[in-house]
Amino acid sequence: MKKLKLKICATCKEEKPLTSFGRNRQAPGGLHYYCKTCAALRQRAWATSNPAKIREAKDRYLSRIRGQNAGADPYQ
């Protein structure tokens, strides 16, 4: 019989299967402390409270990508 491994989320304090947690190589168990649902909620809350940082990161990304593709032939 295969035993289902569980982990407790640091935010919601619910016991969930390991598949509910994202990977984090720096954590002792190799998984994030928060379940994917709670992590998404935390990320969304941070993004809504920091729109300038989001815009700045997006602009940096787009300028880098456009610079890489500047000389590329799109039809090749």
CA neighbor of 11 nearest in space, from 45, 42, 50: 42
The pair of structure tokens assigned to 40 is: 């998404």
Length of the chain: 76
**Domain residue ranges of the chain, discontinuous segments joined by +:** 6-68
pLDDT confidence of residue 46: 97
Q: Are 32 and 22 in contact (CB under 8 A)?
A: yes
pLDDT confidence of residue 75: 74
- Tell me, what DSSP letter sits at residue 29? T
- Which helix (H) or strand (E) covers residue 36, if one does? helix 36-49
List average pLDDT for each run of 10 residues in the chain, which is 76 residues long. Answer: 82 95 94 96 96 96 89 72
pLDDT confidence of residue 53: 97
Q: Are 33 and 13 in contact (CB under 8 A)?
A: no
pLDDT confidence of residue 73: 74
pTM above threshold 0.85: no
Which residue's structure tokens are 């590329």?
72
